[in-house]
Amino acid sequence: MGAVGDDIGDVSDYELTHHVRQALKSVFEGDTDEYDQLIGNMHHTERLVPDEVAMLVTILRALSGAVSFIDIVHHRSLLSSICAMRFWNYGPDVMDALMELVVTLATSNGKYVDLCLDMLVSNFIPPFNFLEILKQPRGLAKKDQVLARVHAALKGIADLVPLAPSRLEQIVRERVPNVYAKEAQIVVYVENMLMLESGDMGEFVGNSMIFELMNRLIDLDVEIGWDEVLMDDPNNKGIFLMELEDLARTDETEMDMDEPQIEYTGRKVLWGNVVAQKLDTLMELAFDHLQSCFKNGRLPQVFEALLQSFQSTVLNAYKSKFAQFVMFYACSLDPEDCGTQFVSRLLEIFKSTVYPQDWRMSAVAYLASYLSRAKFLSTSYVTIILESLVDWCYKYSKNQSGEINLKNHRVFYAACQALMYVLCFRMRSILATPRLKSQLVNMPLEKIFKHALNPLEVCLPSIVEEFLRQAKAAHLFTVSYGAFLFEHLFESELSRAFGGFQRLDVFFPFDPYLLKKSDRFIRPNFIYWSMVRTTYDDDEDDDDDDDDDDVEDDEFDMNLSKMSITPKDSFMFGNLQDRKMQMPSRIRPSTSPESL
Amino acid sequence: MEGLKVSEADLLVYLHPSKSKNVSQAIYNELSSMLFKYNETFDGVLLAYSASTNDELAKILPGLHPCFGVRLKAQLLLFDPKPNMILEGKVVKLGAQSIHVVVLGFSSATIIDEDIREEFDYKVKHGKELFASSVNKRHKIEIETVVRFVVKSFDEETLHLSGSLLQPNTGNVNWLDKYAEEDLVESNTKKRRDYQTADHSKRTTDDDRFKKSKKHKSSHS
CA distance B91 to chain A (A): 9
CB A67: neighbour CB atoms within 10 A? 24
- DSSP character for A525? G
Are B108 and A67 a contacting pair at CB < 8 A? no
Task: Provide the β-strand partners of residue B79.
Answer: B4, B45
CA distance A55 to chain B (A): 21
Amino acid letter, A78: L
Are A111 and B160 a contacting pair at CB < 8 A? yes
pLDDT averaged over every residue in chain B: 82
Q: Which of A480-484, A534-538, A539-543 has the lowest mean pLDDT?
A: A539-543
Cα–chain-centroid distance for residue A434?
Answer: 39
Are A160 and B160 a contacting pair at CB < 8 A? no
CA distance B156 to chain A (A): 9
**Is 50 exceeded by the pLDDT of residue A531?**
yes
**Which residue among A14, A64, A160 sits closest to B100, beta carbon to beta carbon?**
A160
Are B108 and A107 a contacting pair at CB < 8 A? yes
Are A163 and B36 a contacting pair at CB < 8 A? yes
Separation of alpha carbons A480 and A468, rounded Å: 11
**Is 60 exceeded by the pLDDT of residue A234?**
no
| Nearest Cα residue to A69 out of A13, A18, A21 | A21
- What average pLDDT score do residues A110-137 get? 90
**Which residue among B96, B98, B155 sits closest to A111, beta carbon to beta carbon?**
B155
**Which residue among B95, B105, B155 sits closest to A162, beta carbon to beta carbon?**
B105
3-state DSSP call for residue B146? strand
CA distance A145 to chain B (A): 24
Separation of alpha carbons A362 and A324, rounded Å: 12
**Which residue among A65, A68, A110 sits closest to B158, beta carbon to beta carbon?**
A110
Q: Which of A338-342, A577-581, B106-110, B138-142 has the lowest mean pLDDT?
A: A577-581
**Which residue among B97, B106, B160 sits closest to A109, beta carbon to beta carbon?**
B160
- What average pLDDT score do residues B141-145 get? 92
Contacts of B159 in chain A (CB under 8 A): 110, 163
**0.95 surpassed by pTM:** no
CA distance A555 to chain B (A): 54
- Long-range contacts for B175-184 (Cβ within 8 Å, ≥24 apart)? B175/B136, B175/B138, B175/B139, B175/B140, B176/B148, B179/B136, B179/B138, B179/B139, B183/B136
Residue of higher predicted confidence among A38 and A546 = A38
Q: Which of A24-33, A410-419, B65-74, B194-203 has the lowest mean pLDDT?
A: B194-203
Mutate to test the interface with A, among B97, B99, B144 (most CBs of A within 10 A): B97
**Is 60 exceeded by the pLDDT of residue A503?**
no
> Best-predicted range by mean pLDDT among A42-46, A73-77, A509-513?
A73-77
- Label residue B180 by pLDDT band (50, 70, 90): low
Does B202 touch chain A if contact means CB atoms closer than 8 Å?
A: no
Cα–chain-centroid distance for residue A186?
Answer: 14
**Which residue among B21, B93, B112 sits closest to A68, beta carbon to beta carbon?**
B112
Are A108 and B108 a contacting pair at CB < 8 A? no
Does B97 touch chain A if contact means CB atoms closer than 8 Å?
A: yes
Separation of alpha carbons B73 and A450, rounded Å: 57
What counts of helices (H) and strands (E) characterise chain A?
31, 0
Separation of alpha carbons A461 and A579, rounded Å: 10
**Is 90 exceeded by the pLDDT of residue A226?**
no
Give residue-wise pLDDT tens across range B20-30: 888 888 999 98
**Is 80 exceeded by the pLDDT of residue B197?**
no
- DSSP character for A442? H
Residues 32-61 of B with CB under 8 A from A: 36
Return the axis-axis angle of helices A33-42 and A13-28, rounded to nearest 10°.
Answer: 120
List, in order, residues 6 or more apart from A535 with CB less than 8 Å away: A427, A428, A431, A470, A471, A473, A474
| Nearest Cα residue to B173 out of B193, B197, B144 | B144
3-state DSSP call for residue B140? strand
CB A469: neighbour CB atoms within 10 A? 17
Does B107 touch chain A if contact means CB atoms closer than 8 Å?
A: yes
Are A110 and B108 a contacting pair at CB < 8 A? yes
- Label residue A413 by pLDDT band (50, 70, 90): confident
Q: Which of A148-162, A388-402, A490-504, A577-591 has the lowest mean pLDDT?
A: A577-591
- DSSP character for A226? B
Contacts of B162 in chain A (CB under 8 A): 109
pLDDT at residue A482, as a whole number: 54
Separation of alpha carbons A145 and A148, rounded Å: 5
Separation of alpha carbons A431 and A473, rounded Å: 11
pLDDT averaged over every residue in chain A: 77
Cα–chain-centroid distance for residue A503?
Answer: 21
Residues 67-96 of B with CB under 8 A from A: 92-93, 95-96
Mutate to test the interface with A, among B158, B159, B162, B164 (most CBs of A within 10 A): B158
Chain B residue with CA closest to A113: the answer is: B158
> What is the number of alpha carbons within 13 Å of residue B218 lying toward its C-beta?
6
Residue of higher predicted confidence among A454 and A385 = A385
| Nearest Cα residue to A220 out of A162, A260, A278 | A278
| Nearest Cα residue to A225 out of A185, A263, A259 | A263
CA distance B130 to chain A (A): 16
Separation of alpha carbons B212 and B206, rounded Å: 10
Chain B residue with CA closest to A156: the answer is: B93
Does B121 touch chain A if contact means CB atoms closer than 8 Å?
A: no
Separation of alpha carbons A306 and B44, rounded Å: 35
**Is 90 exceeded by the pLDDT of residue A398?**
no
Give yes or no for a contact between B29 and B94, defined as CB atoms under 8 angstroms apart: no
Contacts of A162 in chain B (CB under 8 A): 102, 105-108
Contacts of B99 in chain A (CB under 8 A): none
Give yes or no for a contact between A323 and A221, defined as CB atoms under 8 angstroms apart: yes
Does B143 touch chain A if contact means CB atoms closer than 8 Å?
A: no
Are B107 and A163 a contacting pair at CB < 8 A? yes
Residue of higher predicted confidence among A558 and A448 = A448
CA distance B18 to chain A (A): 11
Q: Which of A31-40, A128-137, A538-547, A554-563 has the lowest mean pLDDT?
A: A554-563
**Is 90 exceeded by the pLDDT of residue A383?**
yes
Residues 156-185 of B with CB under 8 A from A: 157-160, 162
Separation of alpha carbons A43 and A105, rounded Å: 19
- What average pLDDT score do residues A42-66 get? 85
Contacts of A354 in chain B (CB under 8 A): 21
Contacts of B107 in chain A (CB under 8 A): 162-163
- What average pLDDT score do residues B120-145 get? 90
Mutate to test the interface with B, among A24, A160, A170, A203 (most CBs of B within 10 A): A160
**Is 60 exceeded by the pLDDT of residue B73?**
yes
Q: Look at strands B140-141 and B128-133 and give their pairing.
A: antiparallel
**Which residue among A66, A111, A162 sits closest to B102, beta carbon to beta carbon?**
A162
- Label residue B90 by pLDDT band (50, 70, 90): very high
pLDDT at residue A5, as a whole number: 40
CA distance A160 to chain B (A): 6
**Which residue among B106, B114, B155 sits closest to A162, beta carbon to beta carbon?**
B106
Give yes or no for a contact between A419 and A445, defined as CB atoms under 8 angstroms apart: yes
Does B110 touch chain A if contact means CB atoms closer than 8 Å?
A: yes
**Is 80 exceeded by the pLDDT of residue A272?**
no
Q: Which of A37-41, A285-289, A316-320, B111-115 has the lowest mean pLDDT?
A: A316-320
**Percentage of chain A modeled with pLDDT above 70:** 74
Give residue-wise pLDDT tens across range A81-106: 999 999 998 889 999 999 999 999 99
Amino acid letter, A469: R
Contacts of B102 in chain A (CB under 8 A): 160, 162
